[in-house]
């Protein structure tokens, strides 16, 4: 399972080799034309970095390439290795660079206990702890009432393509039923990771 990466409410897609979509990162950075991936890829330093990353391994194998372009289909875009994600973010701005690093660090460092959970019940319990921290953070920032549902939907939309209400309808659950009690282990982990990043 690929872990969800969400930056400023934009889900960063990954290809089968785990590379990250620069087009999604561009949207998350604000989408300025001057920061478009094709502008960055023309940069001399970027070209040299890609060449350096291409040296190890067997260059002919697709999974060893630091950059891949998918033309057409639902997953079209330019996909790059993590090192290039950091370089691209640094090229855009110091603020975006820090945001990207902190987001990736949160996913790698703060959510290990969730991936280590062996059973669905353990994953559900770990998710409850993450959720409590998330809602506490929201409360500290002045969120109340319906705002909690809106923030939850802000996580569910990029992850699952629908709001909590719509997901309940699709799964035949009652209006007030706990959606997470009807999630798979993978969905619980994805939701928890997204809430860690959002917190």
Write down the pLDDT at residue 1.
Answer: 47
- Contact (Cβ atoms closer than 8 angstroms) between residue 55 and residue 69: no
Alpha-carbon distance of 186 to 120, in angstroms, equals: 9
Q: Where are the domains of the chain?
A: 6-105, 110-198
If residue 11 lies in a helix (H) or strand (E), which one and from where to where?
strand 10-11
pLDDT higher than threshold 90 for residue 95: yes
Closest Cα partner for 198 from 121, 134, 102?
Answer: 134
Q: What is the pLDDT of residues 56-81, one digit of tens each?
A: 655 545 556 898 888 887 788 999 99
C-alpha–C-alpha distance, residues 197 and 57, integer Å: 32
Give residue 190's pLDDT band: very low, low, confident or very high (50, 70, 90): confident
Phi, psi of 73 (to 5 degrees): 85, 180
Check residue 52 and give left, alpha or beta (phi > 0: left; psi -120 to 50: alpha).
Answer: alpha
Q: Which of 42-51, 162-171, 188-197 has the lowest mean pLDDT?
A: 188-197
pLDDT at 37 over 80: yes
Residue 104 has which token pair?
């990736």
**pLDDT digits over 123-144, tens only?**
888 889 889 989 999 999 999 9
Please list the residues that pair with 70 across neighbouring strands: 77
pLDDT at 101: 92
Q: How many CB atoms lie within 10 A of CB 107?
A: 18
């Amino acid at each position: 399972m690929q872990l969800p990466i969400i930056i400023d409410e934009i889900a960063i897609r990954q290809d089968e080799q785990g590379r990250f979509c620069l087009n999604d990162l561009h949207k998350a950075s604000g989408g300025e034309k001057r920061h478009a991936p094709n502008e960055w890829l023309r940069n001399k330093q970027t070209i040299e970095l890609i060449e350096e990353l291409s040296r190890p391994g067997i260059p002919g194998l697709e999974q060893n390439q630091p950059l891949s372009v998918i033309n057409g289909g639902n997953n079209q875009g330019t996909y790059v290795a993590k090192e290039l994600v950091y370089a691209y973010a640094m090229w855009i701005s110091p603020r975006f660079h820090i945001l990207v690093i902190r987001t990736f660090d949160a996913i790698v460092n703060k959510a290990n206990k969730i991936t280590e959970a062996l059973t669905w019940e353990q994953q559900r319990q770990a998710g409850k702890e993450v959720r409590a921290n998330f809602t506490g953070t929201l409360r500290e920032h002045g969120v109340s009432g319906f705002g909690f549902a809106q923030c939850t939907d802000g996580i569910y939309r990029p992850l699952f393509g629908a709001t909590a209400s719509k997901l309940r309808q699709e799964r035949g659950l009652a209006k007030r039923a706990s959606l997470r009690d009807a999630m798979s282990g993978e969905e619980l982990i994805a939701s928890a990771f997204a809430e860690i990043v959002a917190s």
